[in-house]
Every structure is written in structure tokens, then in C-alpha cells.
């Protein structure tokens, strides 16, 4: 019959002490001065934690015992040789991985960026994506002009991100871009590990969705009309068809049929790379009619700067993120109460868009007014209206 171990000999030791006038239980899991000590209010909690530490120690012992004798001897000898330097086997391995020639060969960061962009272009990534990657990663490579991929550590990346400054979202975007670069480097054997993996994951707050008020929409369209109307189709399609900026900028008038009240968004222009047809509302048809043509670009040159000027004239600053597309979504779901119809307009695959974000933004009576916002010519009025006008007697 096995003898039960004396509680006094059990590791870790549990002692009841007084801490700041309160009776607590101290669990001392240190071995030769190294390890943890924890305080618990109850004996039961102390026993549970002590038991987990015993199990962990046993498991670690089994894992160590599974190592071949030759490897254990080598590890002890390496640790002895490192002792005078005050470092560990892990530190030594990390140092080796940073300085040894990688299996795939050495690549300077600048060379890695060029190779990464070329690979993504060959894989069919959009030019806009490639432009952003080239910009961000170009800045990163300028910081380390002579460094090789396997020489960069997490502190280097963190210092670069901190020096760049900006919002938390910007830092998150930059961090993801650099992570993608080093994932590519690991895949091709230019480095053994990704230094970004050791950085803290950035948590971004989910901000409430902002949409434009009917008055803001009216002012925006009025400002576009006052600026000779070149940007009116761009803005009207964003507000009343919910197309993405990139999709509108890529539209040709041959894809816009006012007679059939339909806009064909070609697959090369969509985010999902799937061709879709967006139904045109009556008021959108009225806005587009004066500017329609058989063919040619719907959006004028330098549309970004023009759009910025129109927003300033309309007094909508700061401009809410994706304001036109989100406004179209909010007013559409309020008017139709049909999630699938709204998703079809926006070009989302079912289930991927969180319609509840938009469902509570707009009252049905405001939605009805939104889809009746008409240009002056359509009502014989001198200004933009939101419905039928009474005739003067």
C-alpha cells in the first residue's frame, strides 16, 4: 500500500499569512528562487492553483524525459557555455535565426518588397491594392535600407510603427501590411519567422455607422449642380445606387441605361469581381438624364479633388466614412424592409453584410422623402426638392 505524501513535503508550499491586516494564503511555486508566488483569499483557491502547478511541473518533466539522451546532454553543455554570458538557449537560438543565412537565401527589405509586389500583381491583385502596398512597404524599406529580412525583429517593426504615428486604425493597417510582407518572406525561406507575430494585436472600437441627413444630401447635390454639374452623376449614383467609389469611377455611360433603369457594374470594377446589375430608382434616373451619353466615362478627371471641394461648399466636414454608400443602404432598407434587396443593390454576398447596422438609422417617413429628392428641372423649380410641389395660384 502506497504511503500518502506528507502535506508538508508537497510542492508548492501553501502558507497562511497576514497581508495588510487580512488573512490570506500564500502559494510559493518558486524553485531555487525562480518562479511565481500568488496570494489567495481562500484555502480552496490556493489548493486549486497549487495542484495545477504540480501537474504542469510533472508534464514538463515528462516532456523533458522524452528527449533523447544525446539532446539532453547537448542542451546541458550549451547552457553551461552560455552561463558566463547571462543568456539562455532560447536567446542563442533567436540570435542564430537572425544572423544565419536563411534556407531561401538572403533578401534585403527593398528587394523583398519588389518581389512581393510582383508576385501579387502576377496573382491578379488590383492596381489600387498594389499602389497602397508599394507606398506603405516602400516607407518601411527606406527605414531599413541595408537590412535583410531575417535580421528584422519585432522591436524594429514596433519602433517603425510608433514613429509613423497616426490613428490606431492606421497603425493596424500598416501592421497588417508588414505582416503580409513577412508572411511572404517566411513562405519563400527568406526568414524563419514573422516578427509581426510577436506584436500585440490591435483592437479597434466599432464606431456607429454615420449617414447623411436629407438636408445634407440636398446641399451636396446643390453644390454639385452649382459647380457646373460635372460631378452630379458621380454623387447621384453614390447616393441613390450605393455603388463603391471605385465602381462609380470605372463606369462608362454605355453601362448606364436610363430607359431600362439599370446600371451594369462590370466584374473587373467590383470588389467581389462579380458582375451585377443595380436597379435605378426613379429619382436617380431624373438626376442622370440631363448628363447621359451613349458612351464615355461617367466620372470626370480629378474627381477626388473636385468631390472634396463640393463637400466643403456643402458644409459637410468632417466627411463620414463611406457616407454616400452607407446613406444609400440606410435609406434603402428603411424604405423596402428587404435585406436581400438591399444586399443585391450593394453587391454583398448574403450574410456578409451586417444589415442591423443600418436598420435602425432611418425612419420610414424620412426614407420616403429621400427617394423623392429630385433635381430642379424635374419639378420646374429653382432648387432641389424632396417631393411634389404645389402650383402657385
> Which CATH number characterizes residue 220's domain?
1.10.443.10
Residue 140's alpha-carbon distances to 51, 113, 181, 182, in angstroms, are 48, 9, 10, 12
User: Same structural domain for residues 355 and 252?
Assistant: yes
Number of domains forming the structure of the chain:
4
Tell whether the model's pLDDT for residue 192 goes beyond 70: yes
User: Same structural domain for residues 172 and 152?
Assistant: yes
Question: For residues 26 and 17, what is the distance between their CA atoms, to the nearest angstrom?
Answer: 7
Tell whether the model's pLDDT for residue 343 goes beyond 50: yes
Residue 154's alpha-carbon distances to 41, 158, 199, 200, in angstroms, are 39, 6, 7, 10
**Structural domain contains residue 146:** yes
**Structural domain contains residue 152:** yes
Domain limits at 161? 109-198
User: Same structural domain for residues 77 and 61?
Assistant: no
User: Same structural domain for residues 186 and 241?
Assistant: no
User: Same structural domain for residues 240 and 360?
Assistant: yes
Tens digits of residue pLDDT in 49-91:
888 888 877 776 655 545 676 787 788 888 888 888 888 888 8
**Structural domain contains residue 266:** yes
- Mean pLDDT within 197-210: 79
User: Same structural domain for residues 48 and 127?
Assistant: no
User: Same structural domain for residues 151 and 190?
Assistant: yes
pLDDT above 70: percentage of residues in the chain: 83
Question: For residues 286 and 211, what is the distance between their CA atoms, to the nearest angstrom?
Answer: 23
User: Same structural domain for residues 191 and 166?
Assistant: yes
Closest CA to 174 of 226, 132, 236: 132
Tell whether the model's pLDDT for residue 389 goes beyond 50: no
User: Same structural domain for residues 55 and 73?
Assistant: no
User: Same structural domain for residues 312 and 170?
Assistant: no
Of 35-44, 177-186, 202-211, 312-321, which gets the smallest average pLDDT?
A: 202-211
Last residue within a domain, chosen from 173, 198, 223: 198
Report CA Rg, the chain.
32
pTM over 0.75: no
Range from 2-16, 79-93, 337-351, 354-368 that averages highest in pLDDT: 79-93
Q: Specify the DSSP class assigned to residue 108.
A: B
Tens digits of residue pLDDT in 113-138:
999 999 999 998 888 889 999 999 99
**Structural domain contains residue 45:** yes
User: Same structural domain for residues 31 and 76?
Assistant: no
**Structural domain contains residue 104:** no
Q: Specify the DSSP class assigned to residue 200.
A: P
User: Same structural domain for residues 232 and 370?
Assistant: yes
Amino acid at each position: 500500500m502506497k504511503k500518502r505524501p506528507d502535506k508538508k513535503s508537497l510542492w508548492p508550499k501553501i502558507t497562511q499569512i497576514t497581508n495588510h491586516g487580512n488573512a490570506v494564503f500564500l502559494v510559493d511555486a518558486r524553485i531555487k528562487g525562480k518562479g511565481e508566488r500568488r496570494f489567495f483569499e481562500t484555502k480552496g483557491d490556493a489548493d486549486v492553483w497549487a495542484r495545477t502547478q504540480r501537474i504542469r511541473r510533472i508534464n514538463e518533466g515528462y516532456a523533458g524525459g522524452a528527449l533523447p539522451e544525446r539532446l539532453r546532454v547537448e542542451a546541458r553543455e550549451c547552457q553551461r557555455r552560455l552561463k558566463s554570458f547571462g543568456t539562455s538557449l532560447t536567446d542563442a537560438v533567436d540570435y542564430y535565426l537572425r544572423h544565419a543565412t536563411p534556407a531561401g537565401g538572403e533578401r534585403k527589405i527593398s528587394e523583398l518588397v519588389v518581389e512581393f509586389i510582383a508576385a501579387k500583381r502576377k496573382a491578379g491583385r488590383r492596381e489600387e491594392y498594389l499602389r497602397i502596398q508599394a507606398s506603405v512597404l516602400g516607407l518601411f524599406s527606406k527605414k531599413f535600407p541595408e537590412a535583410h529580412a531575417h535580421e528584422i525583429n519585432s522591436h524594429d517593426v514596433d519602433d517603425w510603427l510608433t514613429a509613423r504615428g497616426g490613428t490606431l486604425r492606421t497603425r493596424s493597417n500598416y501592421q497588417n501590411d508588414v505582416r503580409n510582407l513577412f508572411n511572404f518572406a517566411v513562405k519563400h525561406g527568406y526568414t524563419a519567422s514573422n516578427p509581426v507575430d510577436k506584436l500585440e494585436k490591435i483592437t479597434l472600437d466599432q464606431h456607429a455607422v454615420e449617414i447623411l441627413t436629407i438636408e445634407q444630401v440636398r446641399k451636396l447635390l446643390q453644390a454639385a449642380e452649382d459647380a457646373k454639374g460635372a460631378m452630379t452623376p458621380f454623387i447621384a449614383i453614390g447616393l441613390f445606387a450605393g455603388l463603391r467609389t471605385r465602381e462609380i469611377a470605372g463606369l462608362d455611360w454605355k453601362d448606364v441605361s436610363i430607359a431600362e433603369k439599370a446600371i451594369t457594374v462590370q466584374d473587373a470594377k467590383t470588389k467581389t469581381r462579380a458582375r451585377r446589375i443595380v436597379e435605378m430608382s426613379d429619382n436617380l434616373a431624373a438626376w442622370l438624364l440631363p448628363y447621359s451619353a451613349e458612351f464615355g466615362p461617367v466620372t470626370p478627371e480629378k474627381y477626388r479633388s473636385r468631390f472634396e471641394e463640393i463637400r466643403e461648399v456643402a458644409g459637410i466636414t468632417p466627411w463620414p466614412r463611406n457616407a454616400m454608400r452607407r446613406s444609400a443602404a440606410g435609406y434603402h432598407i428603411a424604405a423596402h424592409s428587404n435585406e436581400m434587396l438591399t444586399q443585391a443593390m450593394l453587391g454583398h454576398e448574403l450574410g456578409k453584410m451586417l444589415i442591423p447596422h443600418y436598420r435602425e438609422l432611418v425612419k420610414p417617413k424620412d426614407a420616403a422623402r429621400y427617394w423623392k429628392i429630385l433635381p430642379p428641372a424635374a419639378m420646374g423649380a429653382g432648387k432641389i426638392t424632396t417631393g411634389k410641389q404645389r402650383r402657385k395660384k
